[in-house]
Structure 1
């Protein structure tokens, strides 16, 4: 350093000052005379500010933990009943014929959305049986469509996947006409 210039502030100096202030505060706190109990205790602003934010943080963490414990059963039920996560795992354990029978039963009971879902699962199982696309629970309809396009599969595959996507994730409601379109597409898949 040049003569006459010096550093006015540094991290080490600030730590030293903080240590000195805390030491002085503790000394005053512990050396209050028995006769002079009404002497005001000066608490450094930094200590109060830090204590306040630690208390706020502790309360927020406690509230978050309570909310988590309160909502955990609902989240567990939601994820367990979620249709898109276990779809591929469920498809592996069932045959294409099982899915087609479920589609017919659901359609006969008037549940066209479930019938279309069963046709979707039959289509995925059909692709897996032919070893064209392996089933994975993490795949989305969009990923299946991309794989189908790269394999140049005929349009009926895409019709079934896109219909499933619109029914379950869009704002399209199931109807007998939608089911018939899926059924026709699946029939074309079996003929191909």
Structure 2
């Protein structure tokens, strides 16, 4: 291919390769189709009707499953509150209480921060924010929810950005195995204070 700007020949380029591939696919498709309406179509391989029908229904089912999954992700946080069933301990018949209060999580954050364990301190602030959402009745806390589900819910509710900071930091620290620093804790602490002011 001749490059006008530099006056040299190029061996190959990505755009040229894509153009060639597109042309080859087009020519292949032309070869499959009849040249005119009067030409015999016996050259074209015919798939059995049951196979075509099966492929059609497979695509319909896949589209329905995909649409259902998208609806579940979108509406899941709303529906979970309506379908929330209190868990009862079979041995005692008592509904378990939350493990920690917001104050207890904040105390744990302070202690961990004083000991230089910024990872645990950030997680405690994250848990305090989730407990606060639960206490305010905005979002029922569930152990099975992922950080992604919490973020989806917060975006739908237009809740303040500090929640996102805490959740995304928690996700990085616990699942990407990033080490927390004093600066990380400071960002989490500032985010939590903004939440308390809101």
TM-score with structure 1 length normalisation? Answer: 0.52
1:108 matched to 2:114: yes
Q: 1:76-135: per-residue Cα shift (whole Å, max 9, x none)?
A: xxxxxxxxxxxxxx9922110000000000000010000001001000000001100101
Local SS of the residue matching 2:98: helix
CA distance in 2, matches of 1:92, 1:170: 27
Q: Which residue among 179, 186, 190 is the counterpart of 2:192?
A: 186
Q: Report what 1:132 is aligned to.
A: 138
| Secondary structure of 2:141's aligned partner | coil
After TM superposition, list the pairs within 5 Å mapping 1:8-157 onto structure 2.
Answer: 92-157=98-163
State the Cα distance separating 1:172 from its structure 2 match. Answer: 1.8
**1:170 aligned partner:** 176
1:159–1:182 contact (8 Å) kept in structure 2: yes
Give the paired residue count: 103
SS of the residue aligned with 1:173? coil
Instruction: Pick the structure with greater CA Rg.
Output: 1
Q: Which whole-Å CA distance do the structure 2 matches of 1:150 and 1:94 have between them?
A: 27
Name structure 1 gaps, 5 residues minimum: 1-89
Comparing 120-129 with 164-173, greater Cα deviation is found at: 164-173
In the other structure, the counterpart of 1:36 is: none
- Alpha-carbon distance change, 124 to 146 in structure 1, aligned in 2, over 3 angstroms: same
CA contact (8 A) 1:91 1:125 kept: no
Contact 1:157/1:189 (CA < 8 Å) preserved in 2? yes
Distance 1:158 1:172, change over 3 A: same
Distance in 2 separating the partners of 1:95 and 1:167: 22
Q: Structure 2 unaligned segments of length 5 or more: list them.
A: 1-95
Normalising to structure 2: TM-score of the pair?
0.51
CA distance in 2, matches of 1:183, 1:164: 13
Q: CA RMSD in A?
A: 1.4
How far has the Cα of 1:173 moved from its partner?
1.0
CA contact (8 A) 1:104 1:115 kept: yes
Per the TM alignment, residue 171 of structure 1 is displaced from its structure 2 partner at its CA by 3.7
Between the aligned partners of 1:113 and 1:190, the Cα distance in structure 2 is: 21
